[in-house]
């Protein structure tokens, strides 16, 4: 996997913890609240993680995030 920025690593760690705990991915709003970022920033970080191959992110579902 490509190296991640600190912000990206924080978001990825949160997504991973959420999936392990609840069995499904967090919404963008939950990622934003948990990491102290705006929803726009959280969405951008999720998109960056998808481009880097760390996750798979669907466009049409709020919880369509899969760890790769």
* pTM of the complete model beyond 0.75: yes
Length reported for the chain? 68
pLDDT digits (tens, 9 = 90+) for 27-53: 999 999 999 999 999 999 999 999 998
3's CB contacts (< 8 A; 6+ apart) are: none
Q: How far apart are CA 32 and CA 2, in angstroms?
A: 23
> Strand, coil or helix: what is 19?
helix
Q: Using one digit for the tens of pLDDT, what is the confidence trace for 6-24? A: 999 999 999 999 999 999 9
CA distance 22 to 38: 23
Asked if 46 and 58 touch (Cβ cutoff 8 Å), the reply is no
User: CATH number for the 6-67 domain, one of 3.30.479.30, 1.10.10.10, 3.40.190.10, 2.60.40.420?
Assistant: 1.10.10.10
């Amino acid at each position: 996997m490509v190296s991640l920025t600190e912000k990206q690593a924080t978001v990825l760690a949160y997504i991973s913890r959420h999936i392990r705990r609840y069995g499904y991915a967090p919404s963008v709003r939950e990622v934003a609240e948990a990491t102290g970022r705006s929803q726009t920033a959280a969405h951008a970080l999720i998109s960056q993680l998808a481009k880097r191959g760390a996750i798979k992110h669907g466009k049409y579902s709020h919880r369509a995030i899969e760890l790769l």
